[in-house]
């Protein structure tokens, strides 16, 4: 599995293109903009973009879903709870303030523990609510794509609709910090750095050291 990290969109989202070397298929995690950059990368490397995985439904993480689906036919994958939450008119109206397009409806709904397979790529869906109700991480040892649940030295904000601080911290402690310490954390924004490890976050992330909220 080849991992390429891009910073995309007006809000600096970390998007990941994962490629299966044997099949030439690829998936994108959180394509939050700059769809041409992603398409050019796939074309230059002879990759067929087949899946668009959403760690959550915030517009800055899904803004390129529509354009990429139109260009490639790729299927959109999202946790059921976020698909339902971000389909509510009042939620759509609230997040329209960001000026970014919402995602088209997902083609596939997933739940905690599901496996997403594409060629030789296998990703486990890890439900980590708190940033959003259906926020997830994607895990393929030794790599964790943590979206906006866990950053380098920080955690996702919880002041948007659907967020809850206690739920997020509990999700991180129970579902992520229990992974092997050498697990590589690929975050949804590079605020504190472009990557880390679970061991480093468990030891140094100030939001995980005590009950700060």
Taken in order of first residue, the domains within the chain and their CATH numbers are: 2-208 (3.60.15.10)
Mapped onto helix, strand or coil, the DSSP state of residue 97 is helix
DSSP secondary structure string for all residues of 39-74: HHHHHHTT-EEEEEE-S---HHHHTTHHHHHHHH-P
Tell me whether strands 108-110 and 115-118 are parallel, antiparallel or unpaired: unpaired
* pLDDT per residue as tens, the chain (213 positions): 999 999 999 999 999 999 999 999 999 999 999 999 999 999 999 999 999 999 999 999 999 999 999 999 999 999 999 999 999 999 999 999 999 998 999 999 999 999 999 999 999 999 999 999 999 999 999 999 999 999 999 999 999 999 999 999 999 999 999 999 999 999 999 999 999 999 999 999 999 987 655
Q: Supply φ then ψ for residue 151, to 5 degrees.
A: -105, 180
Task: Give the pair of three-digit tokens for residue 159.
Answer: 């002041």
Q: What pTM does this model have? A: 0.96
* Spatial contact of 32 and 15, defined as CB atoms under 8 Å apart: yes
Could you tell me how many residues make up the chain? 213
């Amino acid at each position: 599995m080849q991992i390429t990290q891009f910073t995309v969109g007006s809000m600096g989202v970390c998007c990941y293109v994962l490629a299966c070397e044997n099949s030439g298929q690829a998936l994108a995690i959180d394509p939050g903009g700059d769809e041409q950059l992603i398409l050019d990368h796939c074309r230059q490397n002879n990759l067929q973009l087949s899946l668009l995985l959403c760690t959550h439904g915030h517009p800055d993480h899904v803004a390129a879903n529509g354009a990429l689906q139109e260009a490639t036919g790729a299927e959109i994958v999202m946790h059921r709870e976020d698909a339902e939450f971000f389909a509510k008119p009042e939620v759509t109206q609230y997040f329209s303030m960001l000026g970014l397009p919402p995602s088209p409806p997902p083609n596939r709904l997933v739940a905690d523990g599901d496996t997403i397979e594409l060629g030789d790529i296998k990703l486990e869906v890890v439900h980590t609510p708190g940033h959003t109700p259906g926020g997830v991480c994607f895990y393929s040892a030794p790599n964790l794509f943590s979206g906006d649940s866990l950053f380098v030295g920080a955690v996702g904000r919880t002041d948007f609709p659907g967020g809850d601080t206690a739920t997020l911290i509990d999700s991180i402690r129970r579902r992520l910090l229990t992974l092997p310490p050498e697990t590589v954390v690929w975050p949804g924004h590079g605020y504190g750095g472009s990557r880390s490890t679970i061991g480093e976050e468990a030891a140094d992330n100030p939001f995980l050291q005590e009950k700060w909220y």
